[in-house]
Amino acid sequence: MILFSTKERHQDKKESRYRDTRRTAEKMRLAYIGLGSNLGARMQYLDRAVQSLQKLRGIENLRCSSVYETEPVGHTRQPEFLNAVVEVRTQFEPMQLLQALQTIESSLGRERAEHWGPRTIDLDILAVQGVVRHDGKGLQLPHPQIANRRFVLVPWAELEPDFIVPGLDQKVGQLLEKCRDPSDVRRYMTAQAWGEQMQKEIM
């Protein structure tokens, strides 16, 4: 048995506290979330989704891209989308993050009717730092469609062009340069104006 003097014990406690904070910091991973809305008050759905994300305990340092108005891809006979990308640092495991996003989707009236159809809010995990998982069904990371979607890559590259997407091992900016998706993606509201708008709403 090792006996510590009071001073040593105090020192030891301090160190273990320091180790704990370091461990938490190491567990915080960068994650990118794609937001989309093409039903009803689209801008309000984006605002409320970001505000809900910001309130989650396992999420910090949230940063938003500008908002873009985009042509629908897939089922093209539906209203135009507003899309944006959000960067967070999170200690959630990827499945926990997905569940948190799905809870926010339901709270904002998302009904899972038609795949790729109109929706009040869609929250997809685009990528999580250091994570690649493509095990059949369920959560796929990075999101399998990102390289083909300008409505994802344009806002993402605005936010962080140098992020290297795990599994694809390319930077977001490189993926955008190579992307063949011809659909229209126009800036709708700058990141700054959006941030100010959300700030006003919570005051």
Residues within the interface to Mg ion (CB under 5 A): 122, 124
Choice among 42, 110, 149, 150 that is catalytic: 110
List of residues 6+ apart from 119 with CB closer than 8 A: 36, 37, 38, 39, 110, 111
- Amino acid at position 104, single letter: I
Residue 133 per-residue DSSP state: B
- Active site annotation includes 122: yes
Q: Tell me how far CA of residue 70 lies from CA of 5, 15, 107, 146, 153, in angstroms.
A: 66, 51, 24, 15, 12
Per-residue contact string for residues 88-107; x = within reach of ligand ADP by CB under 6 A: ----------x---------
The smaller minimum CB distance to Mg ion, of residues 102 and 183, is found at 102
Torsions phi, psi for 85 (to 5 deg): -125, 140
Does 121 bind ligand ADP (CB under 6 A)? Our answer is no
User: Measured from the CB of residue 57, what is the shortest distance to ligand ADP in angstroms?
Assistant: 20
Residues that bind ligand ADP (CB under 6 A): 98, 112, 115-116, 122, 124-125, 139-141, 143
Catalogue the active-site residues: 110, 119, 122, 124
